[in-house]
Amino acid sequence: MTFISRRDLLKRAGLAAALPIARPFEGRDGRGAESPALQVTREPLEHLTAVEADVLEAVVARLIPSDEHGPGAQEARAARYIDRALGGALASSRQAYTAGLAALDRYAQSSRGAPFAQLSPADQDSVLIDVETGAAAGFTGSSAAFFNIVRTHTWQGTFGDPYYGGNVNFVGWDLIGYPGIRTVVTAEDQRRLERHELKPNHKSAYDTEMFNKATASAAPRGGERAD
């Protein structure tokens, strides 16, 4: 497993904000240094159990951690996105989460001596490396398949449209410098974008008339969005 810095990871992601990107996860920075965690208040769960949500929150916090460059997946509420989407667009993955999160927690307990959420960041990373490479025991099928599911959904919840419950307050888009949805882009806007001078508009696709909220699935309820 090769660790890369979070900064390099996001540079490679570019402006593909709404797409899942298959990249290795990394430590808080390239040296494994930690940054102060931002407080995230959990909202009522819709599909995950409290135990499952504890494990998932800890996992997404390591896949895209917060650091000196900005907040990460936990602050973007990627786990909230997954919880809500498991009743809609991601419903086919519900059983995989039930079995996979339980297996991950058991493996953390048996191999590192504590539930996953209680491990140090370094031990959490080492557990996730085992899961990603298929070395973790106790999973139905390969643990790597479960890792890929969670990683993909974490990217969706961090960089997807905030209408679906993740990317809260556009922290994911701000993190990669995505300027937001625009129905019209002038030549000057394009030049400013190329110079990284185009300011984010902090608008969801569903703030435009081109998209119909009535047909959107897995819509958030009670989520906040900064306009």
pLDDT digits (tens, 9 = 90+) for 140-197: 999 999 999 999 999 999 999 999 999 999 998 888 877 777 667 677 766 666 566 6
Domain ranges within the chain, ordered by starting residue: 6-29+44-215
Question: What is the DSSP track for 138-149?
Answer: S-SS-HHHHHHH
Give the pLDDT band of residue 86 (cuts 50, 70, 90).
very high
CA–CA gap between residue 124 and residue 58 (Å, rounded): 8
Closest CA relative to residue 59, chosen from 162, 112, 133, 132: 132
Tokens of 63: 């896949």
The label of the residue with tokens 């009522």 reads 44
CA–CA gap between residue 172 and residue 18 (Å, rounded): 10
| pLDDT, position 183 | 66
Cβ–Cβ < 8 Å for 153, 93: yes
CA–CA gap between residue 55 and residue 53 (Å, rounded): 5
CA–CA gap between residue 31 and residue 129 (Å, rounded): 16
Mean pLDDT, the chain, whole residue set: 78
| pLDDT, position 97 | 98
Q: Is the pLDDT of residue 91 over 50?
A: yes
CA–CA gap between residue 186 and residue 22 (Å, rounded): 32
- Tell me if the pTM is above 0.95: no
Please list, in sequence order, all residues whose beta carbon lies within 8 angstroms of the beta carbon of residue 71, skipping any fewer than 6 positions away: 38, 171, 175
71 vs 215, which has greater pLDDT? 71
